[in-house]
Structure 1
Amino acid sequence: MSQTLVFKNARVFDGVNGDCAEGINVVVADGLIQELTTTAPKVADARVVDVAGRTLMPGMIDCHVHPFASDSVVQKMEGWGEAYRTAHAVRMLQFALQCGFTAVRDIGGGSFSMAKALADKLFEGPRYFYSGKILTMTGGHGDFRQVEEAPRYRALCACAGTVFNCCAVVADGVDECIKMTREELRQGAHFIKIMGSGGVISPTDPIWMNQYREDEIRAIVNECTERRTYVAAHCHPAAAVRRCVEFGVRSIEHATLIDDETAKFVAQRGAYIVPTLIIVEQLVQMGRSIGFAPQSQEKADHAWMSAVSGLDKMRNAGVKVCFGTDLLGELYRQQCREFALRKQVFSPLEILRQATSVSAEMMMQEGRLGCVRAGAHADLLVVDGDPLKDISLLEANGENLSVICRAGELVKNRLG
């Protein structure tokens, strides 16, 4: 049982409202926020942290991470082995927590094993949600085989033709999609991710290509609905975004090539979009120097041309936008630069909501994460300065955070 904490004299951003209450005392015990009060709380043997008027806000959520993606070149990632990928994941998750991300959504490659390591406190990291292996069709974005590789046809046993890699599994047809969805959910996946369009790092699919048939997508969505969870879909072009939302997908990842009409459709359906500008920017700038394949570099350049303008379309349509980064390999250190890219379009308040309450709502964690209220998880940050006026305070890899509290425990505390 963690020690009772009292954060004294805080200016509270609750994850939603731009008008912050001041002079608030926040009581934390048993990993939860117990009370918010303007009077001195009557708590025995509590540790008091005097916030001294600084901004106390919810811990942030990065809804699109790949901790096990130890390199942007898939062949290297596979070749270096599971131990190397795990060591990279630990380093990346520790970095994310120190930046103020007290929860992450591992959206391809995560596992029960990593979730248990975090739950058992084998290392200090954020709250961890994972999709397991991504479902992709043959030749889809998650099928990283080169064009010259021979196919793997089914043999005597049912598993002989199944293509796996460290982050995805190939599933074709309704029956295979159902089986693989059930398998990932059996292994504790919090949600399921599919490849709904072509992508950047895959070698054989055009970025404009729609992927998976309607019956396959609906079958996956139905399995998740029965499990009281949801489907996320990787989509770049507008056509893929629209059809996935129409078929029941809850969150769209990237949407770099979205148009105005599709953005309005997404908003009307109440679906969510998780843009990931920083990975596209970094691949455009660094791709050639880190050995990115020419065909992938061309696709990254194409996506970047409309990535920022796509945010305008989402904002104008009233789409519920979440926070995500999608960084691979050594690029993980650029996680906080996503704030700098988003402020070209969104206000500080909008970005803060994206990184807290909107992301929590999308993840079906409303009222538990991304907010400062009684009964919520005590995942909290204390910021030196006012991020509602200056979002760049969150761009400095945690340097402007005096306190990081995760599940009621002080991960960082500069206030004594």
Structure 2
Amino acid sequence: MVAAGTVRQVVRNASVFDSAAGCMRPGSTIVIEGDRIAAVTQEPLQVDDAARVIDAGGRAVLPGLIDAHVHVVAASHDLVGLAMQPASLVTAQSSTILREMLHRGFTTVRDAAGADHGLRSAVERGIFEGPRLFIAGAPISQTGGHADMRPQGVKSREMFCSCAGLGLIGAIADGVGEVRRAVREQVRQGANQIKIMAGGGISSPTDPLEGTQFSMDELRAAVEEAEAANLYALAHAYSPRAVTRAVQAGVRSIEHGNLIDEATARVMKSHGAYLVPTLSTYAALADEGTRLGWSPAMLDKLQMVKDRGLDAVRIARAEGVPVVFGTDLLGHMHGRQPGEFGLRTAAMPPAEALQSATIVAARLMRQEGRIGQLVAGAWADLLVVDGDPMQSLAMLADPAQGIRLLMQGGRVVRDSLVA
């Protein structure tokens, strides 16, 4: 029975991407009731007169895409300057970033620090048009860690203050007690996952890229607090040592991980960890870092990692580590988000790259059966696209042309199919 007032839609003549199997199911029909998928079948189906029928014309139909490493508040590459902006302005700028992500086909994103529950609620209520938003709140950083953006010479811990909790400046915590408190605060603020800075970074001014951050006791405390709230921890880390320590402490995913080696990947595999490479941000910064005023030290760190990203993907795949789609773009560089597919297909086939942005991302986020799949019970998020995604993902690299219909939660966001 369909509940009174529930809209029924039927997508017929569809070649459905089975993200779990990594193959196409031609001649399929998708039945949508309200905001959920009711059925997906290759059997003949009688369509009632009340249903809205969408004829895919034999085209590929994909689950809505997932980007598992975004910063929707990063309206500028200048993270210190961003932290000085009023929360109202950051929010206004984020609304544009969210809308553009959705229109590229990303119906769900995992924000890897910066967004708050207010932005998530704005999307849920339809105030902002954007992807379904999973937030981390403030990243947890040690003094002098990757999210401690204070310039050298500044001693006060209160240089930055955003009462709304927006921005990429970290929650600075030293010692097990402070780390526990910082994680608990993110939980209190509605985080879906906890971000830990476990190693050095490119954009931070004072930490060595290959260094480790936090003691093992501190890392374990952060993971314990996340798990106590039925959440999980993700860790920013590049070097084999930083990645290994974070995984041994229990983090669920490694963000970036460009410098991993085979031994590190084996540790990740043994602990069930995921890798979330973010190749497009290094390509973007290599093109624009100097023009954007990045310091020589930051550009040197960028050079260390930008050519190792594909190697990390190949190593992870060879060792059986699940690889997830992420981008980590800032400011005007958000427009490069679809280019991540082209970078990844140099190291994996198109079907696997598409899985990394659908089912594998959903599994990482503990959302299997809800997002990243076209199955009964999942959110009705789907893309009708031109071309064969088993051969090429060019249609996703040019979403304005390649995506012919975009649906999120049963709502048609845009439609250029011929009636």
TM-score (norm. length: structure 1): 0.95
How far apart, in 2, do the equivalents of 1:199 and 1:346 lie? 26
Aligned to 2:316: 314
C-alpha distance after superposition, 1:163-186 (max 9, x if no partner): x88222101111111111111111
Give 2:59's aligned amino acid: R
Aligned to 1:144: 149
Give 1:367's match in structure 2, choosing from 348, 369, 382.
369
Give 2:13's match in structure 1, choosing from 9, 12, 23.
9
1:291 matched to 2:296? The reply is no
- Give matches, 1:280-359, under 5 Å: 280-359=282-361
The DSSP-based 3-state class of the residue aligned with 2:217 is helix
Give 2:61's aligned amino acid: L
Give 1:265's aligned amino acid: V
C-alpha distance after superposition, 1:251-299 (max 9, x if no partner): 1100011111111221222110100011011111100101112211111
Q: CA deviation at 1:307?
A: 1.6
TM-score (norm. length: structure 2): 0.94
Aligned to 1:25: 29
The DSSP-based 3-state class of the residue aligned with 1:194 is strand
Q: CA deviation at 1:243?
A: 0.9
How far apart, in 2, do the equivalents of 1:254 and 1:86 lie? 26
Specify whether residues 152 and 389 from structure 1 end up closer, same or farther in structure 2 by C-alpha distance, changes over 3 A only.
Answer: closer
Aligned to 2:111: 106
Residues 341, 397 of structure 2: 8 Å contact kept = yes
Specify whether residues 57 and 151 from structure 1 end up closer, same or farther in structure 2 by C-alpha distance, changes over 3 A only.
Answer: same
How far apart, in 2, do the equivalents of 1:72 and 1:50 lie? 42
Aligned to 2:378: 376
Give 2:181's match in structure 1, choosing from 179, 196, 216.
179
Residues 178, 220 of structure 1: 8 Å contact kept = yes
C-alpha distance after superposition, 1:98-126 (max 9, x if no partner): 11100001111110100111111012111
Residues 386, 404 of structure 2: 8 Å contact kept = yes
How far apart, in 1, do the equivalents of 2:185 and 2:48 lie? 47
1:242 matched to 2:247? The reply is no
Aligned to 2:51: 46
How far apart, in 2, do the equivalents of 1:354 and 1:257 lie? 20
How far apart, in 1, do the equivalents of 2:243 and 2:133 lie? 26
Aligned to 1:156: none
Q: CA deviation at 1:397?
A: 3.3
Deviates more, 1:11-20 or 1:187-196: 11-20
Deviates more, 1:74-83 or 1:169-178: 74-83
How far apart, in 1, do the equivalents of 2:145 and 2:6 lie? 46
Specify whether residues 151 and 380 from structure 1 end up closer, same or farther in structure 2 by C-alpha distance, changes over 3 A only.
Answer: same
Stretches of 4+ moved more than 4 A in 1? none
Give 1:134's match in structure 2, choosing from 125, 139, 144.
139
How far apart, in 1, do the equivalents of 2:283 and 2:94 lie? 22
Specify whether residues 151 and 76 from structure 1 end up closer, same or farther in structure 2 by C-alpha distance, changes over 3 A only.
Answer: closer
The DSSP-based 3-state class of the residue aligned with 1:20 is strand
How far apart, in 2, do the equivalents of 1:28 and 1:91 lie? 28
Q: CA deviation at 1:52?
A: 1.1
How far apart, in 1, do the equivalents of 2:380 and 2:166 lie? 36
% of aligned pairs identical?
38
- Give matches, 1:182-331, under 5 Å: 182-331=184-333
1:56 matched to 2:61? The reply is yes
How far apart, in 2, do the equivalents of 1:25 and 1:241 lie? 44
- Cα RMSD between the aligned structures? 1.9
Q: CA deviation at 1:219?
A: 1.0
1:97 matched to 2:97? The reply is no
C-alpha distance after superposition, 1:4-39 (max 9, x if no partner): 110011011021223321111100012110012321
The DSSP-based 3-state class of the residue aligned with 1:369 is coil
Q: CA deviation at 1:89?
A: 1.3
Give 1:56's aligned amino acid: V
Specify whether residues 304 and 26 from structure 1 end up closer, same or farther in structure 2 by C-alpha distance, changes over 3 A only.
Answer: same
The DSSP-based 3-state class of the residue aligned with 1:411 is strand
